[in-house]
Every structure is written in structure tokens, then in C-alpha cells.
Chains A and B, each alone.
Chain A
Amino acid sequence: NAGVTQTPKFRVLKTGQSMTLLCAQDMNHEYMYWYRQDPGMGLRLIHYSVGEGTTAKGEVPDGYNVSRLKKQNFLLGLESAAPSQTSVYFCASSYIIGGADQPQHFGDGTRLSIL
């Protein structure tokens, strides 16, 4: 049981390049999330999805796009990378029971540097 798997784990990009981060979960969770974590700021939600084929904006969505074509996968895209997007990116997933929030399970992160 792998839980939440993120690929790649590290990446260095040049300004203006594009890339896609992949998140896969094998827990059959409905909800999936992408966060970024910067020093002193905690995790900030970029986008999330409440089910296959649906996505929604989080706290800091600008410069990112997402897709959830399959329930188990949630992709985060950077169309034109900027140095301000240098961060550690975490994917998470969770389920809901009777409308009550359940804890989120996290992948081990992707360290992204934009030069």
C-alpha cells in the first residue's frame, strides 16, 4: 500500500519552462489537494479536487493549473515557471464521512527550484 506518491521528488527548471507534477493515491480517496510550503508560511492550498473530473481553486492558484482525469491521479502544471514558484510541493488526499472532514494523507513532497 503506497498511499500518496509524488513524482518527481526533485526538479530544477529555468524561468519560462513548463512542467507537470504527478500525484497518485491508492486509497480510493475522493478528495485530492496540492499545497506549496515556503519557509515561515506553512502550507498553502493551490488547487483541490472533490472528485474525478472536478477541480477548484485554493488560496494561491495563480500560475498553476490542475487536472483530475482519473480518481487516483491529480496533476499540477506550471505553464511558465517563475522564480517565485520555487517551493516544496505536497500532494494530499482524504475522504469524507457523513460530511465530516477527515485528516489528509500527504505524499513526501517535490522540491522544485526555478532559476
Chain B
Amino acid sequence: RKEVEQDPGPFNVPEGATVAFNCTYSNSASQSFFWYRQDCRKEPKLLMSVYSSGNEDGRFTAQLNRASQYISLLIRDSKLSDSATYLCVVNSVGRNNDMRFGAGTRLTVKP
């Protein structure tokens, strides 16, 4: 079983839609969680960290459910520019900042 699993998608949504991605992780002792965004043929870039109490950054909301070992990303009012692959990232405890990446969920926002 992969340490971090994501639905690969693709998710195809119209502009203005709300879309949600989930990510599950296998290590119950994981402590740090992030969502990254990766555009085609580009490097991953940090979208937001995920905090235990949940956090919001504009149209983006991240949630953490430790009991069920998953994190989620909600995008409201989708824009064309949101089209990208979204990577879930979880640290691997005990390995000095050794992050494990999900394979990514691809999102396409259409006019």
C-alpha cells in the first residue's frame, strides 16, 4: 500500500464550480501535511499547509482528519487558472523532514 494515496482524476469542472479532493495516508504518526500544486512540465509549488484545526486561504480550504487519516482540499468558485495537478504531501515521521508525495489529482477547469 502506498504511504500517500490520491484519486488521480481527472476532475473536469466548469468555471465557478466547487471541487474537493481527498488524500489518505497510512502512517498514523505523520505530523506535517501540505498541498502542492504542479502545472504541466513545471515544478511543484506550495499551495498551503494543512493544520489540525483546518485552514482557509481565499477560495481554498484544507482539512485534516487524523482519526480517519485523510486530508482534503476544497476549491470554491473554480477559475481556469486552477487547472493543475494537486499533490498531497505527508511527512514520514522519524526521517528528518522526509516527505512522501501522493501521485497527484489532476484538475481541469473549463469555461
A interface residues (Cβ-Cβ under 8 A, vs B): 31, 35, 40-45, 48, 50, 56, 58-59, 90, 94, 96, 100-109
| Binary flags per residue of B30-65, CB closer than 8 Å to A gives 1, else 0 | 011010000001111110010000000000000000
A56 engages B96 (CB within 8 Å): yes
Task: Give the number of residues in B that approach A within 8 Å (Cβ atoms).
Answer: 23
Q: How far is B34's CA from A101's CA once the two chains are assembled, in angstroms?
A: 10
B71 close to chain A: CB less than 8 A: no
B99 engages A50 (CB within 8 Å): no
Cross-chain contact of A101 among B41, B99, B102 (Cβ < 8 A): B99
Cross-chain contact of A96 among B4, B8, B46, B97 (Cβ < 8 A): B97
A101-B32, A101-B97 given. 13 additional CB < 8 A pairs? A31-B97, A42-B101, A42-B104, A45-B98, A45-B100, A48-B98, A100-B32, A101-B91, A101-B99, A104-B46, A106-B45, A107-B43, A108-B43
